């Protein structure tokens, strides 16, 4: 079975995670895909495939005879999707021989356009997979899941000699909880790769240092007709707080290694208000400066409006895995060589986000990230090609071959 055929099956399984539930997994329907994958793994000969109580799927492929003592290599992808544009079942649409031009996404009124996504012209002649425009597609990261499953099927033919190989499929990556209950001992790998990137040939070992900042504002609400020098409007103080941040340091205005403050949510009235930011920067020192900027603004506003008007809470989410991968760059060299042998350009790029691999690297498993062939994740314009997925599988198989050469 080809990787895209598996993808078409997986995206029909409803698996959005949720920040609201406080449970692990955050949504019980992630088990639907987990159980399906366990069954498929067993059919592929992964006899110990299982899913645990937190919805983590594990399996192990025994080493080729004579390779039992070699280093253990793992592959990981996540099963959950974002919850945005995911309020009803996904209907995947396959467009053979895509012409590289504007493509109507079903009857949704949305148009997949090269004006918005210039890379579309490079996909001319390929078989394109999208949703019908009313939902996400779910290739993030069900494409990675499908490619790992297809990799296992290819390994079954015995043409690639390899050491012990571990696979895992995780829940809740999209809400930053994908490794919260990851069992390092059970996974049992020395090194691993996540398949959770974009364009085929991507190799990523640098990601953002990431944090969340919640700023709460407490005002003084009195009758507006008699509020001279008394009222403190919490919503206006919140607006003042945001205006003191660098105006250009937003996601829209930044790229590559540039960090940002992203106002992700807000609410408020005269009495209380709240701003919810994510803070990102590849450089640890710059990331620290961003936190200090927030603290400084809070201090200034508390001095102006009274102590307790502004309360800032910062939570670290993940760190830049480069710190760990720098000690084992053979993983990057191996992936780069694999791309070259497969005739695919190696695209070594920083991740403007994070993956399970970032946290796993700090948990003891160095874990760079590989491209899956997908594009425009997290929205209704998400798309991937059959050919891109085939290349991603080919690269992974070549990595295994070179790792154990």
Q: Which residues are catalytic?
A: 80, 173
Q: Which residue, among 330, 356, 337, 348, has the nearest Cα to 399 in the 3D structure? A: 337
Spatial neighbors of 35 by CB under 8 A, at least 6 apart, are 51
CA distances from 387 to 8, 181, 213, 372 (A): 14, 34, 41, 11
339 and 346 Cβ atoms separated by less than 8 Å: yes
Q: How many CA atoms lie within 13 A of 125 on its CB side?
A: 1
Alpha carbon distance 140, 195 (integer Å): 10
Q: List b or e across 263-284, with b for residues whose CB sees 16 or more CB atoms inside 10 angstroms.
A: beeeebebeebbbebbbbbbee
What is the pairing mode between strands 202-204 and 347-348?
A: parallel
Alpha carbon distance 282, 209 (integer Å): 6
Alpha carbon distance 33, 298 (integer Å): 45
Alpha carbon distance 120, 110 (integer Å): 15
What is the pairing mode between strands 103-104 and 191-197?
A: unpaired
DSSP-derived secondary structure letter, 78: E
DSSP-derived secondary structure letter, 232: B
Q: Which residue, among 357, 282, 286, has the nearest Cα to 320 in the 3D structure? A: 282
Spatial neighbors of 84 by CB under 8 A, at least 6 apart, are 136, 378, 379
């Amino acid at each position: 079975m080809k990787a895209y055929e598996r993808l078409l099956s997986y995206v029909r399984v409803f698996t959005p995670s949720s920040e609201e539930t406080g449970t692990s997994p955050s949504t019980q329907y992630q088990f639907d895909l987990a159980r399906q994958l366990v069954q498929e793994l067993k059919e592929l000969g992964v006899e110990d495939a299982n899913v645990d109580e937190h919805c983590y799927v594990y399996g192990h492929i025994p080493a080729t005879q004579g390779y039992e003592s070699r280093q253990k290599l793992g592959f990981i992808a996540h099963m959950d999707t974002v919850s945005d544009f995911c309020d009803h079942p996904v209907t995947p649409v396959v467009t053979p021989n895509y012409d590289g031009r504007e493509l109507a996404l079903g009857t949704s009124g949305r148009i997949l356009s090269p004006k918005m996504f210039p890379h579309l012209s490079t996909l001319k002649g390929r078989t394109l997979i999208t949703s019908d425009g009313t939902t996400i597609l779910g290739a993030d990261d069900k494409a990675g899941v499908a490619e790992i499953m297809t990799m296992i099927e290819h390994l079954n033919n015995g043409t690639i000699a390899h050491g012990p190989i571990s696979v895992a499929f995780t829940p809740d990556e999209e809400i930053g909880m994908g490794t919260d209950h990851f069992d390092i001992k059970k996974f049992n790998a020395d090194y691993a790769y996540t398949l959770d990137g974009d364009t085929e040939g991507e190799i990523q070992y640098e990601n953002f240092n990431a944090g969340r900042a919640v700023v709460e504002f407490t005002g003084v609400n009195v009758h507006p007709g008699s509020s001279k020098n008394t009222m403190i409007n919490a919503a206006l103080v919140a607006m003042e707080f945001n205006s003191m941040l660098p105006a250009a340091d937003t996601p829209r205005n930044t790229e590559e290694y540039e960090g940002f403050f992203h106002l992700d949510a807000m609410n408020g009235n005269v009495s209380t208000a709240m701003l919810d930011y994510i803070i990102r920067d590849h450089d640890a020192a710059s990331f620290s400066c961003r936190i200090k900027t927030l603290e400084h603004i809070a201090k200034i506003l508390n001095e102006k409006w009274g102590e307790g008007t502004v309360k800032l809470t910062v939570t670290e989410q993940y760190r830049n895995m480069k710190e760990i991968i720098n000690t084992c760059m053979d993983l990057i060299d191996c992936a780069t060589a694999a791309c070259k042998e497969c005739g695919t350009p190696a695209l070594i790029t920083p991740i403007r986000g994070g993956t399970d691999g970032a946290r796993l690297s700090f948990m003891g498993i160095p874990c760079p990230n590989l491209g899956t062939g997908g594009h425009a994740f997290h929205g209704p314009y998400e798309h991937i090609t059959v050919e891109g997925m085939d290349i991603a599988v080919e690269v992974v198989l070549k990595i295994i071959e070179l790792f154990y050469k």
